Chains A and B, each alone.
Chain A
């Protein structure tokens, strides 16, 4: 399993440039390490206050359904909080923060809520720093922690978007599968009922899916039924011809069925030549043709 960091292409160079942009100097990190004492002292009250805030809003409360969850996230939150005061901001730190973003995507908490939560943190820190540190020191310390928290936020959002895109990719793969439902009619005969519009992206998916299925099933004939395709124009006809040509290269024949009167008229009027494949009006005739190509025929089952 590759780390989130490498999946996002986050390397030493990216770390340098981002640290530079967020103006995180070594002095900032050293200062935060010095504030660790103070952080430890307030860790628990800050944490309690933080969760009181989150649990008092229905939008965020729903992410913490039971006490066990709350105990677990409180523990994680303490780790996160102390991480700010360790005086480091290296690649391991980055990996750690990216996980936070990915975890939020997983539970479905979108950035607007945790950006709001970060705000709460900052307020609390500002409050403790102003109350317990000399004026100048408090301000400088707050500036350092602000830099690191903003840096964390940028990482969490990166990870959130990446995880979101991956989820989207999985959904699209599922939709792809649903939009090209290849059915095995009989040994060595496959059927693809095409339903809905066909653009070039879908046409490519169709071609890839049928090629894979033909090889998997060692099919000889692929019936493509286009009764459910609303518009058959030159482009769609071209895609169908290409699929037929690809089928031929792997040694399978294509039969096109579901040609309505309207489609027949369009194809001829557009001057599209689809004579390379047998075409029929009815799917049932297509299946019979496919069987005869394999030297078989439909016989009534004797009961």
Chain B
């Protein structure tokens, strides 16, 4: 899928999967957000999995980029799940008082996709 920034975005069924493996700062962060939103627009994806297994630290700036991206995606009808957060990253954010409320999480990519697919199935059944 076309991306302007260095972070690739893959399509998995009706969901998008992106793996953040480099520092989300400055222009990279902006390009990432832009690429994700454009991909949702183009594909009509209803879910987005952001895999952050590769991030050794997440400061409040990066946490906010992730949370904002999730909120923006939601405005476009796509549910976001952040997956693969490392134990030390989670502990650090919590100690700083940053709970990342409003961001859905799962253990890994598999769990994240399963969560989205189950939710989408439930939604289809109820409508």
**A and B pair up:** yes
Q: What is the interface of chain A mostly: helix, strand, loop, or mixed? A: helix
| Minimum CB–CB distance for B67 against chain A, Å | 12
Residue of B nearest to A188 (CB): B107
Complex contact B94–A250 (CB within 8 A): no
Cβ of B116 within 8 Å of any chain A Cβ, yes or no, is no
Complex contact B94–A207 (CB within 8 A): yes
Cβ of A211 within 8 Å of any chain B Cβ, yes or no, is yes
Given that A207-B94, A208-B91, A211-B90 are known contacts, is A250 also in contact with B85, CB under 8 Å in the complex? yes
User: Count of A-B contacts with CB under 8 A?
Assistant: 51
Complex contact B87–A250 (CB within 8 A): yes
A208–B90 CA distance with the chains assembled, in angstroms: 9
Cβ of B9 within 8 Å of any chain A Cβ, yes or no, is no
Q: Return chain B residues, CB-CB under 8 Å to A249.
A: 85, 89-90, 93-94, 100, 105
Q: 1/0 contact trace for A198-216 toward B, CB 8 Å?
A: 0000001001100110110
Complex contact A251–B91 (CB within 8 A): no
Complex contact B107–A246 (CB within 8 A): no
A246–B111 CA distance with the chains assembled, in angstroms: 17
Contact of B91 among A207, A218, A248, A252 (CB under 8 A): A207
| Minimum CB–CB distance for B24 against chain A, Å | 17
> Looking at A208, A245, A249, which has the most chain B CB atoms within 10 Å of its CB?
A249
Given that A245-B99, A249-B100 are known contacts, is A211 also in contact with B107, CB under 8 Å in the complex? no
| Minimum CB–CB distance for A197 against chain B, Å | 21
Q: 1/0 contact trace for B82-99 toward A, CB 8 Å?
A: 010111111101110001
Given that A251-B83, A251-B111 are known contacts, is A246 also in contact with B91, CB under 8 Å in the complex? yes
> Which B70-127 residues have a C-beta within 8 angstroms of A?
83, 85-91, 93-95, 99-100, 105-108, 111-112
| Minimum CB–CB distance for A15 against chain B, Å | 38
Given that A211-B87, A250-B85, A250-B87 are known contacts, is A218 also in contact with B94, CB under 8 Å in the complex? no
A252–B89 CA distance with the chains assembled, in angstroms: 15
Complex contact B99–A250 (CB within 8 A): no
Residue of A nearest to B112 (CB): A251
A249–B90 CA distance with the chains assembled, in angstroms: 6
A246–B88 CA distance with the chains assembled, in angstroms: 10
Q: Return chain A residues, CB-CB under 8 Å to B100.
A: 249
Given that A249-B85, A251-B83 are known contacts, is A211 also in contact with B106, CB under 8 Å in the complex? no
A242–B100 CA distance with the chains assembled, in angstroms: 12
Q: 1/0 contact trace for B9-30 toward A, CB 8 Å?
A: 0000000000000000000000
Cβ of A220 within 8 Å of any chain B Cβ, yes or no, is yes
A245–B85 CA distance with the chains assembled, in angstroms: 13
Complex contact B93–A250 (CB within 8 A): no
Residue of A nearest to B97 (CB): A242
Q: Return chain B residues, CB-CB under 8 Å to A246.
A: 90-91, 93-94
22 examples of A-B residue contacts, CB within 8 angstroms = A204-B91, A207-B91, A207-B94, A208-B87, A211-B87, A211-B90, A212-B87, A214-B87, A215-B87, A242-B94, A242-B95, A245-B94, A246-B90, A246-B94, A248-B105, A250-B87, A250-B90, A250-B107, A251-B83, A251-B85, A251-B105, A251-B106
Complex A-B, nearest 4 residue pairs according to Cβ-Cβ distance, in ascending order: A211-B87, A251-B107, A249-B90, A251-B106
Given contacts A246-B94, A250-B85, 8 further A-B contacts (CB under 8 A): A204-B91, A207-B94, A211-B87, A211-B90, A245-B94, A246-B90, A250-B90, A252-B107
